[in-house]
């Protein structure tokens, strides 16, 4: 059984290499929506100060996102998508 599992894993690694080198298409793709902090903030009817406090970020970070000087990354991007798609959850936090 161990040899069979090893062969399956090895095959998977080879397939990954082919996908990364453009020799094969992946069987599925995932797209994560790029959040727009300004649109989300306006949708929630919050000031920059209120939204920055809610997100636990500095006002300067929020302004940089809104003015396109920087883009949210990692957990911030996920939290912005939660704020956009499920604003009721964040609104509960501030009430």
- Average pLDDT over every residue of 17-23: 90
The yes-or-no verdict on residue 31 having pLDDT over 80 is no
Question: DSSP of the chain, one letter per residue?
Answer: -HHHHHHHHHHHHHHHHHHHTTSS--S---------HHHHHHHTT--HHHHHHHHT--HHHHHHHHTTSS---HHHHHHHHHHHH-HHHHHHHH-
- Average pLDDT over every residue of 35-44: 95
What does the pLDDT read at residue 73? 92
The yes-or-no verdict on residue 80 having pLDDT over 70 is yes
Residue bearing the bigger pLDDT, 64 or 74: 64
The yes-or-no verdict on residue 1 having pLDDT over 70 is no
What does the pLDDT read at residue 28? 86
């Amino acid at each position: 059984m161990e040899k069979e599992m090893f062969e399956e894993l090895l095959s998977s690694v080879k397939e990954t290499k082919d996908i990364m080198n453009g020799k094969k298409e992946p069987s599925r793709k995932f797209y994560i929506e790029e959040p727009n902090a300004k649109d989300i903030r306006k949708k929630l009817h919050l000031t920059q100060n209120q939204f920055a406090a809610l997100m636990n970020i500095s006002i300067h970070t929020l302004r940089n996102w809104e003015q396109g000087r920087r883009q949210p990354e990692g957990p911030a991007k996920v939290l912005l998508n939660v704020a956009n798609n499920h604003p009721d959850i964040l609104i509960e936090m501030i009430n």
